[in-house]
Structure 1
Amino acid sequence: CIYVFSSHFSIEKDYSNPSVLAIAQWTKKVGREKHRMEAFIRFKKTKDELFLSLVRPDFNVLPLIQPHFKRRYQDQRWLIYDEQRKFGIYYDLREIHEVSLEASEVDRNLKNGMSQSFQLELDEQEVLYDQLWKDYFNSVNITERQNIKLHVQYLPKRYWRYLNEKLMEY
């Protein structure tokens, strides 16, 4: 901040300054994480017509992604919950609310182990949709042309836990 206010010229592109370079790198990482969350978030439909997605982003990007999901899914109630930060964004068909659960509530509502997920009853059709998605993914996948190194570069393994088509590999 001192560098910004003491300068008589724009310093936003002065990457020779370690602070400016660090902020530029953080900005790039947060932007990349925002883009990936918008691309990789998958919802599960519960019996009470709520679409739920559990995420664990490296950065607190939920406030940044909420306009995207509000525009894209205006006709359904949804909750995107950040497991790491213990808060989420909930859309009630009119506006977005920030929700948080106390540690005791999280412990009660989450399963133990690697594949943590809320103990909510999924819609009966959800299992069928999961299978349809996996069948589609398998039918368009050309096994002989797989390039795992490139695939992981574009779709890092840490996101696989959110993707239906990857749950069989995770």
Structure 2
Amino acid sequence: MKGFLCEDTIEGIFTGIYDAWASGMETGHENVRLFLIRQYEPELFFEYEEVFPDADKAEKVARAIRKKISGEAFRRVYRTAMSSQPDRADAIYRFLMEGFRYKEDTLRMLQLPAVGRVFELARKVANEAHLFLEFIRFEQLKNGVLFAAIAPKSNVLTLVAPHFEDRFSGENWIIYDETRALAAVHEALKPYVLARLTEEQAGIFLDRNKENDGYTDLWKVFFNTIGIEDRKNYRCQRTMMPLWYRKHMTEFL
């Protein structure tokens, strides 16, 4: 058995798929598996090979998915790659084995375990990203930049940033994923970019040294007074807004 160890990025996973596919063409795809570096446990009878991200290989895989299966298949694969589940790289590989065989019909074949797994992972990521569109809370820094910190389970930053790029196109803002030390940085009227922040850089934003413009306190007062005491249902509230989302929500700080 051959195991390919890939980096936990979309480029890293797609590069791993490219190299694994070439190996599978010779030894059989069932004898090949993908693992994420630092997220796997060595197994007996496996020969491991580390894969280094290659933009050209990753682009070839992305183009093949769009052309040979469909654009919707690529969107599901992308969301799956953003999942927090350790088997996501291998799940995509198994899905593509079916996808390149059944083409556009693949997405309707949920009875196939590989297709069902990608559907499940992609749906969870999409649902989490959708909730963060509602739960992200911006605070104003002293320099006027809007800053929001999140700690998502999945890597949803590239799924939520385009929404705010359109919604707040004229603002300077930063959305910081503290789980991955990754930030979406938007300069007014320009496309957002992704940037890795060091611990020191992140600390500058996370020290709560924000500009007090009154809106933060106003929002807290509104949240605490708008509800009807006799109709409060904390169980329902936790269902609609799970506790782990609230770490960076203004009204719960």
TM-score w.r.t. the length of structure 2 is 0.58
Matches of 2:176 and 2:109 in 1, distance apart?
A: 37
Q: Distance in 2 between matches of 1:8 and 1:55?
A: 37
More helix by proportion, 1 or 2?
A: 2
Tell me if the contact between 2:139 and 2:216 (Cα under 8 Å) persists in the aligned partners. Answer: no
Give structure 2 stretches of 5+ with no counterpart. Answer: 1-95
Structure of greater Rg:
2
Corresponding residue number in structure 2 for 1:114: none
CA 1:20 to 1:121, structure 2 compared with 1: closer, same or farther past 3 Å?
same
Would you say 1:89 and 2:184 are equivalent positions? yes
Offset of 1:42 from its aligned partner?
A: 0.3
TM-score by length of 1: 0.84
Unaligned runs of 5+ in 1: 112-116
Identical aligned residues as a percent? 26
The C-alpha deviation readout for 1:88-142, integer Å capped at 9, x for no partner, is 111111221211123xxx157439xxxxx613631132xx322211111122111
Q: Distance in 1 between matches of 2:225 and 2:208?
A: 31
Alignment of 1:85-164 (within 5 A): 85-93=180-188, 94-102=190-198, 106-107=199-200, 109-110=202-203, 118-119=206-207, 121-125=209-213, 128-164=214-250
Q: Aligned partners of 1:16, 1:9: CA distance in 2, in Å?
A: 15
1:15 is aligned with what amino acid? L
SS in 2 for 1:76: coil
Task: State the secondary structure of the residue aligned to 1:23.
Answer: helix
CA shift digits 1:16-74 (9 cap, x unpaired): 11111111111110110110111100011010011111111111111111221011112
With over 3 angstroms needed to count, the CA separation of the structure-2 counterparts of 1:67 and 1:122, relative to structure 1, is same
Q: Which residue of 1 aligns with 2:97?
A: 2
Work out which structure has the larger RCO, using CA pairs closer than 8 Å and 6 or more positions apart in sequence.
1
* Aligned partners of 2:110 and 2:116 also within 8 Å: yes
Q: Count matched residues.
A: 157
